[in-house]
Amino acid sequence: MMNYDKKIIQEFAEKLYAQAELAVVLYTVVGGLFGTAGSKIISGHNLIVVIGAVAGAIIGFALGRERALALKVQAQTALCQMQIEENTRKKDA
């Protein structure tokens, strides 16, 4: 039988927070690249390409923040369960 180890939950939560931070950056960059590529295909005009890149980055940033929030909620849920375990575990007398 496996024993409870709060270090595993703590490590899991830390990794989720790291992923959340990275998600915003990655989604913003990928959104900007897609915006650039899409506007370049539609119109070769430089101003349109810049507008497309900015619009894509903004959309990517918004999506990245949503993903980051979901990851942080998952981390907080794990930490909350860990705290419940600590609070309800019988203490040795």
Domain range enclosing 59:
21-81
The answer to whether residue 87 sits within a structural domain is: no
| Per-residue pLDDT tens digits for 54-65 | 999 999 999 999
Residue-wise burial string across 31-41, b where 16 or more C-beta atoms lie within 10 A, e elsewhere: bbebbbeebee
| Residue 66 belongs to some domain of the structure | yes
Q: What is the distance, to the nearest Å, from the Cα of residue 20 to the centroid of all Cα atoms in its chain? A: 3
Higher pLDDT, 51 or 1: 51
Kindly state whether residue 46 falls inside one of the protein's structural domains.
Answer: yes
Structural domain includes residue 1: no
Which pTM does this prediction carry? 0.84
pLDDT over 90 (residue 9): yes
Q: Classify residue 89: in a domain, yes or no.
A: no
Total domains in the fold of the chain: 1
92: in domain: no
Residue 10 within a domain = no
Task: Assign 92 a pLDDT band (cuts: 50, 70, 90).
Answer: low
Residue 41, in any domain of the structure: yes
